[in-house]
Structure 1
Amino acid sequence: MSSDAPELIEPAPTTAGPRLLCSILGHETEAEIAAALHHLRHHGAVEYLRLTAPDLERRRLRVRSDGGTEYAIVLPRDQALTDGAVLALDDHGAVVVRAGTRRTLTFRATTVQSGLRLGFLAGHLHWASSFDGDQVTVTVEGADSDYLDRVADLIASREVTPVERTFAGPDVTA
């Protein structure tokens, strides 16, 4: 082999397993955690673990997040999973438990102009949303008041009407 030829180095095999989550750090509605999650959501750095009711009873389980990351949850006996439990949180991302179906808020626009304003707002705030005729359904990640506060002027002026709320667990308002 000539000394001018680049040396080929094979990458070391990776045997990385699931990311380990060993405790509940708090709940998404706690003020300090809510502020951190709000910032991370704007950067797409929050992963959600969608769990069934029976899974909430477990202390050990493997699960894949909505972002495709595999996690192994190993909790102490004195901690229990709940909707909104935060299992990981740092400057780069967070992992939050979602139980049951997604929580949503549905709004109806009264005019085309108010529908455009509502749609623009939903997009500008990076809300996960869907549109059906004159209605916008927003997936709630955090306190529902965070969403209602953002459209309060549209509701007060009767340009937008909240028409439905669906919740997987208790009404989470901060």
Structure 2
Amino acid sequence: MLHIDRIAGDRADPAWRERIHHLEHHGAVDEVTIPNADMARRRLRITTPKGEDLAIALPRDQKLFDGAVLLADDNRAIVVRAEVERWLRLQPRSIAEAIELGYHAGNLHWRVRFESECLLVALEGPADAYYARLDTLFSGRSIKGSIVTGDIAA
């Protein structure tokens, strides 16, 4: 197991970009995708796509981010990739449904954003589980829903 106790650098930094680019040409970059829910964690165990077991324990003044270089030497590099975030876009049909949806989203501690007349719920599990909760909450009434991916403006 490889112990990571600090972030070595940022892939976006020009010096790191050249170094990582060179290693990529030799197939020596291992990009570990970390779920968004885990990006704020300081301690984490994860396995890279190439099978390297990592034990990450960062100091309080560092946190994971997309492009964080965890390890880089002459032979290889390990770089963090943030998982593409998925959102469930919910559009209530009435003000009453909107209020009820907001109430339940808050009670369920769902992470949300607002977009016009829609409520966006961050999917931190299977979408079916969210739809199931909504179905029981709204007793068969329909709320239009769709899944969107990518960066949703805060």
Q: Structure 1, unaligned stretches of length 5 or more? A: 1-17, 103-165
2:17 pairs with 1:34: yes
Q: Which runs of 5+ in 2 are unaligned?
A: 86-148
Residue 59 of structure 2 corresponds to which residue in structure 1? 76
Normalising by the residue count of structure 1, what TM-score does the alignment of the two structures yield? 0.48
Instruction: Count residues in correspondence.
Output: 90
Separation of aligned partners in 1, 2:75 and 2:23? 8
| In structure 2, distance between residues paired with 1:58 and 1:84 | 16
Alignment of 1:105-120 (within 5 A): none
Offset of 1:20 from its aligned partner? 0.6
Contact 1:86 1:94 in 2 (8 A): yes
Equivalent position SS for 1:50: strand
Task: Please give the per-residue CA displacement for 1:10-69, whole angstroms capped at 9, x wherever unaligned.
Answer: xxxxxxxx1011101111011110000000000010111110111101001100001111
Residue of structure 2 equivalent to 1:20: 3
Please state if 1:48 is matched with 2:27: no
Could you say if the C-alpha distance between residues 169 and 89 of structure 1 is closer, same or farther in structure 2, counting changes exceeding 3 Å?
farther
Whether the 8 Å CA contact 1:64–1:70 is kept in 2: the answer is yes
Query: What TM-score results when the alignment is normalised by the length of structure 2?
Result: 0.54
Say which SS state the counterpart of residue 79 (structure 1) adopts: coil
Shift of 1:101: 2.9
What is the identity percentage for the equivalent residue pairs of Structure 1 and Structure 2? 42
Quote the RMSD (CA, aligned, Å): 2.2
What residue is the counterpart of 1:128 in the other structure?
none
- Which has more radius of gyration? 1
Letter of the 1:37 partner, please give it.
I
| Equivalent position amino acid for 1:75 in 2 | L
Residue 100 (structure 1) shift: 1.0
Q: Which portions of structure 1, spanning 4 or more consecutive aligned residues, are displaced by more than 4 angstroms?
A: 166-170
Identify if the C-alpha distance between structure 1 residues 77 and 99 changes in structure 2 by more than 3 Å, giving closer, same or farther: same
